């Protein structure tokens, strides 16, 4: 196989948060191990996105898709970087012309973690307890199960949110187990939440690597670290999301799993205020993910009827 030019390192674009950097390092280490390349063959390039710049407003107010990805994709298109590492959970379902994500790393824990200095689990929270989250999905899921809780907006990276808990702004919050694990902070989780109780976000725990479609060197390098089972699961979940036209404004959850060569997909949509939730299920062969995802989305949309998402 063609090897990277030793005088020109492969530029890996990423956001600058600790979690994003940990993911970029994992990608570099996997590439380095798969191809026997030294650390000098790679350069990590930190790119600031709109979502990173605006930290004082709820994400849904800033609006638009790709708040955490647009600037990185621009750098990829213009050749400033060669590959880009993303949390697939934050990725729009359609990539810009000329870019493709066909490399998924082995998926981490998909579950949400319950984080609180005082309570052991959701059931322990007293009526009226304040819970912080910036995720519309987690907010709607929690409001659905525990309408007595008081939900507040909790923006910022993992460190910022933990600081807010310390400062007593809220009694509890939720974070992805995957993020805590990659940050070496799993001890902060009181415990994982069973997906049957709180279905995770589409693609939670999955890292994807984006490249230019015509970049054959990047394609060959990345093919060696692609994890096929994760690819099938993410394809199903993202097809579900795509058919729902999921934006950051819509509470949607989805999880595909593989059991004995069968792909199992669960999906859920909720009213933003948690006053209703509709869920469904499909199963099929490993390559059926895209069809299963859009078919399940179609069913849920039909059951929901017009205006389902409008309630606030
Ligand atoms: N929206 C921010 C974000 N994007 C990816 C992760 C965690 C890592 C992952 O799910 O892969 C997080 C933080 C969180 O939800 O706690």
Q: Is 192 in the pocket of ligand 1 (CB under 6 A)?
A: no
Q: Give the model's pLDDT for residue 193.
A: 97
Q: Is 288 in the pocket of ligand 1 (CB under 6 A)?
A: no
| 131, burial (CB in 10 Å: exposed 0-12, middle 13-18, buried 19+) | buried
To 10 degrees, the CA torsion angle through 31, 69, 48, 4? 30
Please indicate whether residue 112 is annotated as part of the active site: no
- Residue 215 sits in a domain whose CATH number is 3.40.190.10
Q: Are residues 99 and 211 in the same domain?
A: yes
Q: Is 116 in the pocket of ligand 1 (CB under 6 A)?
A: no
Q: Is 185 in the pocket of ligand 1 (CB under 6 A)?
A: no
Edge-to-edge strands, sheet with 262-270: 252-259, 262-270, 277-285
Query: Looking at this predicted complex, what is its ipTM?
Result: 0.93
Give CA–CA dist 41/9, Å, rounded.
5
- Residue 245 sits in a domain whose CATH number is 3.30.160.40
| Structural element, H or E, at residue 81 | none
Is this model's pTM higher than 0.90 or not?
Answer: yes
Q: Are residues 177 and 220 in the same domain?
A: no
Q: Give the model's pLDDT for residue 158.
A: 80
Q: Are residues 103 and 14 in the same domain?
A: yes
User: Is 198 part of a structural domain of the chain?
Assistant: no
The phi, psi pair for 130, rounded to 5°, reads -90, 125
Give CA–CA dist 78/261, Å, rounded.
40
Contacts of 235 (CB under 8 A, 6+ apart): 289, 290, 293
Give CA–CA dist 173/206, Å, rounded.
21
User: Is 171 part of a structural domain of the chain?
Assistant: yes
Q: Are residues 99 and 140 in the same domain?
A: no
Q: Give the model's pLDDT for residue 267.
A: 98
Q: Give the model's pLDDT for residue 228.
A: 98
Q: Are residues 15 and 102 in the same domain?
A: yes
Q: Report the residue count for the chain.
A: 312
Secondary structure letter of residue 80 according to DSSP: S
209 with 13: CB under 8 angstroms? no
Give CA–CA dist 130/150, Å, rounded.
5
User: Is 2 part of a structural domain of the chain?
Assistant: no
Residue closest via CA to ligand 1's atom 9 equals 205
Distance 204 CA to ligand 1 centre (A): 7
User: Is 232 part of a structural domain of the chain?
Assistant: no
User: Is 270 part of a structural domain of the chain?
Assistant: yes
Secondary structure letter of residue 267 according to DSSP: E
User: Is 200 part of a structural domain of the chain?
Assistant: no
Q: Give the model's pLDDT for residue 1.
A: 56
Distance 90 CA to ligand 1 centre (A): 8
Distance 194 CA to ligand 1 centre (A): 17
Residue ranges of the chain with pLDDT lower than 50?
none
Q: Are residues 164 and 145 in the same domain?
A: yes
User: Is 4 part of a structural domain of the chain?
Assistant: no
Q: Are residues 14 and 95 in the same domain?
A: yes
Q: Are residues 48 and 187 in the same domain?
A: no
User: Residues 60-110: pLDDT tens digits?
Assistant: 677 666 788 999 999 999 999 999 999 999 899 999 999 999 999 999 999
Q: Are residues 77 and 214 in the same domain?
A: yes
Q: Are residues 84 and 33 in the same domain?
A: yes
Q: Give the model's pLDDT for residue 256.
A: 98
Residue closest via CA to ligand 1's atom 11 equals 205
Instruction: Show the domain range for 126.
Output: 112-192
Q: Give the position, in ligand 1's atom list, of the atom nearest the Cα of 90.
A: 4
Give CA–CA dist 274/283, Å, rounded.
27
Q: Is 277 in the pocket of ligand 1 (CB under 6 A)?
A: no
> Rounded to 5 degrees, what angle do the CA atoms 227, 230, 234 make?
135
Q: Give the model's pLDDT for residue 66.
A: 78
Q: Are residues 26 and 46 in the same domain?
A: yes
Query: How many structural domains does the chain have?
Result: 3
Q: What's the per-residue H, E or C state across 215-235?
A: CHHHHHHHHCCCCHHHHHHHH
Catalytic residue among 82, 90, 109, 295: 90
Say how far residue 65 (Cα) sits from the centre of its chain: 14
Q: Are residues 42 and 178 in the same domain?
A: no
User: Is 272 part of a structural domain of the chain?
Assistant: yes
């Amino acid at each position: 196989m063609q090897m990277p030019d030793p005088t020109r390192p492969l530029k890996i674009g990423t956001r600058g948060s600790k979690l994003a950097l940990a993911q970029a390092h994992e990608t570099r280490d996997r590439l380095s191990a798969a191809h026997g390349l030294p650390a000098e063959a790679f350069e990590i390039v930190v790119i600031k996105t709109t979502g990173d710049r605006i930290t004082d407003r709820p994400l849904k107010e800033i609006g638009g898709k790709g708040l955490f990805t647009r600037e990185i994709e621009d750098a990829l298109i213009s050749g400033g970087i060669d590959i880009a590492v993303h949390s697939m959970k934050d990725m729009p379902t359609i990539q810009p012309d000329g870019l493709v994500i066909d490399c998924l790393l082995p998926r981490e824990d998909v579950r949400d973690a319950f984080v609180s200095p005082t309570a052991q689990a959701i059931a322990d929270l007293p009526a009226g307890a304040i819970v912080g989250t910036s995720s519309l999905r987690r907010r709607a899921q929690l409001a659905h199960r525990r309408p007595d809780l008081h939900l507040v907006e909790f923006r910022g990276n993992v460190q910022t949110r933990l600081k807010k808990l310390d400062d007593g702004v809220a009694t509890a919050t939720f974070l992805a187990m995957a993020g805590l694990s990659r940050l070496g902070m799993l001890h902060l989780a009181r415990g994982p939440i069973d997906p049957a109780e709180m279905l995770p976000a589409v693609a939670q725990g999955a890292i994807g690597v984006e490249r230019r479609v015509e970049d054959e060197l990047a394609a060959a390098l990345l093919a060696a670290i692609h994890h096929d089972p994760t690819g099938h699961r993410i394809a199903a979940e993202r097809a579900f999301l795509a058919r729902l036209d999921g934006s950051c404004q819509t509470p949607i959850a989805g999880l595909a799993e593989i059991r004995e060569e069968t792909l199992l997909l669960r999906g859920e949509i909720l009213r933003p205020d948690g006053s209703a939730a509709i869920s469904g299920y499909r199963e099929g062969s490993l390559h059926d993910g895209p069809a299963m995802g859009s078919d399940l989305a179609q069913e849920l949309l039909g059951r929901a009827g017009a205006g389902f998402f409008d309630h606030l």
